[in-house]
Structure 1
Amino acid sequence: MSNSFSNQLRSVIEWNNPKSDILFEKWTQSGDEIKNASKLIVGPGQGCLFVYEGKVEGFFEKEGLYDLKTGNIPFWTTIKNLMYKFESAHKVGIYFYRKAEMQNIRWGTPSPITYKDPVYNFPVGLGAFGNFSFRITKAVDFFINVIAGDDYYPVKAIQKVILSRITQPISDFLAKASFSYVDIDKHRNEIAEFSKNSCRNIFNELGFELLDFRIEGTSFDQETKTRIGRISDMSAEAQAMKELGVSYQDYQQLEALKNMAKNEGGGNLGMQMGAGLGMGQMMGNMINEQNQQQNTAPPSQSNPNDPMQKLQKLKQMFEAEFIDEQEYKQKKQEILSQF
Structure 2
Amino acid sequence: MVFFRKQFANVVEWEEFRDDMIFWKWTNREIKKGSKLIIRPGQDAIFLFNGKIEGIFKDEGEYDIESQIIPFLSTLKGFKFGFNTGMRAEVLFVNTKEFIVKWGTKNAINIPTLGLPGGLPIRANGTFTFKVNDYIALIDKIAGVRNSYLVEDVKLRITAILDQLLMKWITKEGKDMFNLQANAFDIGKGIKEDLDMEVLDDGLTITGFNIISFSYPEEIQEMINKTASHNMVGDINRYQQISMVEGISSGKVKGGGAASDMAGMMIGMNVAKELMENMNKGEKEQVKEKPNFCPNCGQKTGEGNFCSNCGKKLV
Q: TM-score, normalised on structure 1?
A: 0.52
2: CA distance, partners of 1:35 / 1:165 = 46
Aligned-pair Cα RMSD in Å: 3.8
User: Could you say which structure has the higher strand fraction?
Assistant: 2
Instruction: Give 1:134-213 correspondences, 5 Å limit.
Output: 134-213=130-209
Kindly tell me the number of residue pairs found equivalent between the two proteins: 213
Q: Aligned match of 1:43 in 37, 40, 50?
A: 40
Instruction: Give 1:242-253 correspondences, 5 Å limit.
Output: none
Match in the other structure for 2:71: 72
Unaligned runs of 5+ in 2: 1-6, 228-315
TM-superposed deviation, 1:151: 1.8
TM-superposed deviation, 1:136: 1.0
User: Partner amino acid for 2:152?
Assistant: K
Q: TM-score, normalised on structure 2?
A: 0.55
- Label 1:94 to 1:111 Cα distance change in 2 as closer, same or farther (>3 A): farther
Q: Deviations over 1:6-57 (max 9, x none)?
A: xx9943312268221211112354x23x24463322222211233445x243
Unaligned runs of 5+ in 1: 1-7, 236-339
SS for the counterpart of 1:181 is coil
Match in the other structure for 1:25: 24
Match in the other structure for 1:215: 211
**Is this contact kept in 1: 2:110–2:118, CA < 8 A?**
no
User: Partner amino acid for 1:169?
Assistant: L
Instruction: Give 1:88-127 correspondences, 5 Å limit.
Output: 92-102=89-99, 104-118=100-114, 120=116, 122-127=118-123
Q: Deviations over 1:155-187 (max 9, x none)?
A: 222112333344433221122232343112232
2: CA distance, partners of 1:76 / 1:162 = 38
User: Could you say which structure has the higher helix fraction?
Assistant: 1
2: CA distance, partners of 1:226 / 1:200 = 34
2: CA distance, partners of 1:155 / 1:76 = 33
User: Partner amino acid for 1:152?
Assistant: S
- Label 1:35 to 1:50 Cα distance change in 2 as closer, same or farther (>3 A): same
SS for the counterpart of 1:27 is strand
